[in-house]
Amino acid sequence: MAQTDSTLLSAYDPDGYYCELHGLPNQPLIETEQTRRHLDRITLEQLRTRSADAERELYNFGITFTVYTQKDAVDRILPFDVIPRVISAADWKIMETGVKQRVAAINAFLLDIYGAGKVIKDGVIPGELIYSNPNYRPEMEGFAPPLGTYAHIDGTDIVRDHLGTFRVLEDNARTPSGVSYVVENRHLMQRAFPDLMAGVGIRPVSNYGDKLHEALAALAPKEVLDPQVALLSPGVFNSAYFEHIFLAREMGVPLVEGRDLVVEADDRVFMKTVAGYKPVHVIYRRINDDFLDPLAFNPDSMLGVPGLFAAYRKGTVALANAVGTGVADDKAVYAYMPRLIKYYLDEDPILANVDTHICREPEGLSYTLDHLEELVVKPVGEAGGYGITVGPRASQEEIESCRAALQADPANYISQPMVRLSVCPTLTDEGVAPRHVDLRPFAITGQSTWVLPGGLTRVALRKGSIIVNSSQGGGSKDTWVLE
């Protein structure tokens, strides 16, 4: 799609998809009209020049992530597209209330399965789906975390279908990442494109660190008047290490590794400093359960803190997110979320799931095997876009390989129809063209739940691709929620 007309967007064609900037062909978005006018004042060459400057700035600031599967290109910047994704105030209200509802149900579900297990006894969800889950932690049974909250930081992946309806694609309640790009993308746009933002009322995102610190501090033991929060990182080789640095800086708290912490005989956690031991009351941990404490979980872990889990159970330190939260990330559990929302909240879901077939169930497996060429098949425990088979775009060899995997281990898979994901104008080598996008809003739960206005818009930069994950060649955009 070559760009030949006089304005930036005049040759842009959404190709029949719902467009985040234009809407539907017969229902153009009024709310984004000002942004479209601003974009049309910029030439394609100006956009390319300023885009190159923006990517250079990301690199110079060290805003990178790690791709473990590519030996020759491990550290790289997350590709940034300078054409923003715009969300109206009305659409955001739907999304915000829907995310809050979902987070409330997730926390009620986790508190229940590690407590009375009523949801299983009442037959709402199969017990084997919970107890056979590798992220289920029997060590948490009978323990209620501070404020009854498991998922203090939650990322909900949301797409928009061909009619413009929001649908939840998956939940990320364990250690959702990407919020650093949300804030840095906004700062970058403010520096590089002040003319594009002029006069557009956009809700701010720069207070995320303050909101996060406030929520985490509320988890501290009640007798502590001035809680010390710390962010626990696996270290510099972790793919999200930039984000760990960013969040610690935004909150004004120390970034620590396992070797920096020690648990004393009275089950209290201390941080080693040049001035001696300093107590720590709340830990935002970016380490998976397995590696958190070698005395409680993986004995070979060199990343965690011996005795940390015992201190957590005793209540001398709080952990966010709670141990065992990963059960809610499971894509098979996701299929039950509409029922769980109804069960715990007595409400219908505000944000619908994508229709899902559970392959551990005979009916779901049979349907999936009969319609492989039409469905997207996903392993329940994978993240980052790995292991997915997109039936309508897969080769016959890939279809048969997927069929064999399904028959060998059906419980490991779900399938969904291929959603016609919405698109957003994106700068490509050929000009401004439609590329598929999703959105990950971030919710913080302390005394109440707050949702960052916007979230991480990920964009599939490869033409025709619906896989937006950074590990699979995706990029990101600034997300504007209008006042």
pLDDT tens, position by position, 145-164 = 999 999 999 999 999 999 99
With cut-offs at 50, 70 and 90, classify the pLDDT of residue 384. low
**Closest listed residue to residue 192, CA positions, set 63, 46, 74:** 46
Q: Which CATH architecture best describes the domain 222-316?
A: 3-Layer(aba) Sandwich (3.40)
Mean pLDDT within 34-44? 94
One DSSP character per residue, 286-314 reads -S-GGGT-TTTS-TT-SSS-TTHHHHHHH
With cut-offs at 50, 70 and 90, classify the pLDDT of residue 303. very high
Task: Count other C-beta atoms under 10 Å from residue 383's C-beta.
Answer: 17
With cut-offs at 50, 70 and 90, classify the pLDDT of residue 66. low
- State pLDDT tens for residues 186-231: 999 999 899 999 999 999 999 999 999 999 999 999 999 999 999 9
Return d(Cα 361, Cα 128) in angstroms, integer: 12
Give this prediction's pTM: 0.91
Return d(Cα 59, Cα 244) in angstroms, integer: 17
Give me 288's structure tokens. Answer: 């998976």
What pLDDT score does 331 carry? 85
Helix, strand, coil percent values for the chain (each to nearest 5): 35, 25, 40
What pLDDT score does 2 carry? 46
Domain with CATH 3.30.1490.270 in the chain: 356-417
**Closest listed residue to residue 369, CA positions, set 308, 417, 323, 415:** 415
Give the chain as a 3 state SS string.
Answer: CCCCCCCCCCCCCCCCCCECCCEECCEECCCCHHHHHHHCCCCHHHHHHHHHHHHHHHHHHCCEEECCCCCCCCEEECCEEEEEEEECHHHHHHHHHHHHHHHHHHHHHHHHHCCCCHHHHCCCCCHHHHHCCCCCCHHHCCCCCHHHCCCCEEEEEEEECCCCCEEEEEEECCCCCCHHHHHHHHHHHHHHCHHHHCCCCECCCCCHHHHHHHHHHCCCCCCCCCCCEEEECCCCCCCCHHHHHHHHHHHCCCEECHHHEEECCCCCEEEEECCEEEECCEEEECCCHHHCCCCCCCCCCCCCCCCHHHHHHHCCCEEECCCCHHHHHCHHHHCCHHHHHHHHHCCCCCCEECCCEECCCHHHHHHHHHCHHHEEEEECCCCCCCCCEEHHHCCHHHHHHHHHHHHHCHHHEEEEECCCCCEEEEEECCEEEEEEEEEECEEEECCCEEECCCCEEEECCCCCCCCCCHHHCCEEEEEEEEC
Domain with CATH 3.40.50.11290 in the chain: 222-316
Task: Count other C-beta atoms under 10 Å from residue 425's C-beta.
Answer: 26
Residues in contact with 441: Cβ distance below 8 Å, sequence separation at least 6, in sequence order: 95, 96, 99, 155, 156, 158, 451, 452, 454, 455
With cut-offs at 50, 70 and 90, classify the pLDDT of residue 251. very high
Return d(Cα 141, Cα 313) in angstroms, integer: 11
Phi and psi, residue 475, nearest 5°: -130, -160
- State pLDDT tens for residues 394-443: 999 999 999 999 999 998 899 999 889 999 999 999 999 999 999 999 99
CA distance to 48, 92, 145, 450, per residue, from 105 (Å) = 44, 20, 16, 15
Whether 1 has a pLDDT exceeding 80, the answer reads no
Whether 63 has a pLDDT exceeding 80, the answer reads no
* Cis amide prior to 298 (ω within 30 degrees): no
CA angle 301, 303, 304 (to 5 degrees): 85
Interhelix angle for 241-251 vs 208-217, to 10°? 80
Return d(Cα 101, Cα 411) in angstroms, integer: 28
What dotted CATH number matches 356-417?
3.30.1490.270
